[in-house]
Structure 1
Amino acid sequence: MSAENDLLVIALVVLALLIALGWYLSYSAARLDRLHAKVEGAMSVLDAQLVRRAEASLELATSGALDPASSLFLADAASGAIRRRTEHPIGDDPLDGQHFAGREGVESDLSSALATVLSDDQQAVLRGNDGDPVALEALERVEASALRVQLARQFHNDAVAQVRRVRAKTVVRVFRLAGHAALPDLVDFDDRLPGAGA
């Protein structure tokens, strides 16, 4: 009788351990799925903020508030960012956008153009007492959108770092909890604010 009780206890312990392992694996897979969804959402937000920044920059360039050379320089960089976005949109698969469609170069160029054209001195001129209200509004939109781009990129990269940390765990790798999902990449480009120096 005692041997049968011992076997029953062992079977119950093994069953409890298997249930606990199954629950942990299920929890880990669901968490990883949520983190991947967070990365997808963050990429969409970053994409939208970049489009807003490019549109605001183009609006400032065509407002007549800047000298012709600066206007042309800024309009060229903003148009390049808009064109690159529409030529290579994020695909049907949201995780396709993880590689940022190779837009880092044009986004860095726009940041550099904004930093060059909107030096602190130029911003002071635009904000002067006799400043054009349309130009002032365009400048404020550029500054606000540039700040939102910085925040969106940071949020995206934080989400990617969380996914990478979880996917590096042994249990995730051994049980292939990530499935066939691609490992998301960090988005790295120059996102300095206007007036931050050329």
Structure 2
Amino acid sequence: MKWEIDILQVSTIIALVLLAVAWYLSYSASRLDRLHAKVEGAVSALDAQLVRRAEATLELATSGAVDPATSLLLADSASEALERHTHQPLSHDPLDGQTFAGRESTETDLTATLRAALQQDTVDELRSEPGSDGADALSRVEASALRVQLARRFHNDAVREVRRVRAKKVVRLFRLAGHAALPQPVDFDDDLPPAVVD
């Protein structure tokens, strides 16, 4: 009789341990899935902010508020940035293959062009006429450039969190990430021109 009670107790303990392990694995897998979805959303948000920055730059270039050579440089860089897009093939996993597809260099080039075009004297001249097309366009460039910085940092924080969780032994051992690609941080120059920051 005592032997039967011991087996029952051991069976109950084993069942509870297995249940706890199953719950933990299920919780970890769903958390990882949410983190991957967060990265996907962050990539989309970053993409949208980059498009807004390029559109604002194109608006500044066509406003007539900057000299023709600067206008041409801004329009060329902004148009090139608008032509690039984030590569996201349709598949069972929305993150599979999602990369910036070499877009970093294009966005860095746009930042460099903005930095070269928006020197202190140009910014002062544009700001001297509040309400003008040039001042409004400059304001939109400033705001969109700041949102690009925030969106990129938010994306990279989300990527860092996914990579941290995926590095855990239990996640690797039980392959809780499935076949989802390991997200990569996005790195490009997004510093605001010094004249704009002042």
Smaller-chain TM-score range? Answer: over 0.9
Which residue is equivalent to 2:171?
172
Question: Any gaps of 5 or more consecutive residues in structure 1?
Answer: none
Deviation at 1:25, TM superposition (A): 0.2
Which residue is equivalent to 2:145?
146
Greater Cα offset, 154-163 or 98-107: 98-107
The reply to whether residue 191 of structure 1 matches residue 190 of structure 2 is yes
Query: What amino acid is aligned across from residue 107 of structure 2 in structure 1?
Result: E
Deviation at 1:121, TM superposition (A): 2.4
Query: What amino acid is aligned across from residue 15 of structure 1 in structure 2?
Result: A
Aligned residues: 194
Greater Cα offset, 113-122 or 49-58: 113-122
Give the Cα separation in 1 of the matches to 2:83 and 2:53. Answer: 13
Relative distance call for 1:47 and 1:120 in structure 2 (3 A) is same
Question: Any gaps of 5 or more consecutive residues in structure 2?
Answer: none
SS in 1 for 2:84: helix
Deviation at 1:184, TM superposition (A): 0.3
Query: What amino acid is aligned across from residue 164 of structure 1 in structure 2?
Result: R
Deviation at 1:92, TM superposition (A): 2.4
Give the Cα separation in 2 of the matches to 1:27 and 1:36. Answer: 14
Relative distance call for 1:107 and 1:24 in structure 2 (3 A) is same
Which residue is equivalent to 1:91?
89
The reply to whether residue 134 of structure 1 matches residue 144 of structure 2 is no
List structure 1 segments (4+ residues) > 6 angstroms apart after TM superposition.
Answer: none
Query: What amino acid is aligned across from residue 139 of structure 1 in structure 2?
Result: L
Counterpart mapping for 1:2-81 below 5 A: 2-81=2-81
Counterpart mapping for 1:116-135 below 5 A: 116-128=116-128, 130=129, 133-135=132-134
Deviation at 1:143, TM superposition (A): 0.3
Give the Cα separation in 2 of the matches to 1:100 and 1:182. Answer: 14
Give the Cα separation in 1 of the matches to 2:12 and 2:195. Answer: 65
Contact 2:87 2:99 in 1 (8 A): no
Query: What amino acid is aligned across from residue 14 of structure 1 in structure 2?
Result: I
Deviation at 1:89, TM superposition (A): 4.5
Root-mean-square deviation (CA, aligned residues, Å) is 1.6
Greater Cα offset, 75-84 or 32-41: 75-84
- The TM-score normalised by the length of structure 1 is 0.93
If each structure's helix is expressed as a fraction of its own residues, which one has the higher value?
A: 1
SS in 1 for 2:188: coil
Contact 2:52 2:144 in 1 (8 A): yes
Identity across the alignment (%): 64
Give the Cα separation in 1 of the matches to 2:53 and 2:97. Answer: 19
- The TM-score normalised by the length of structure 2 is 0.93
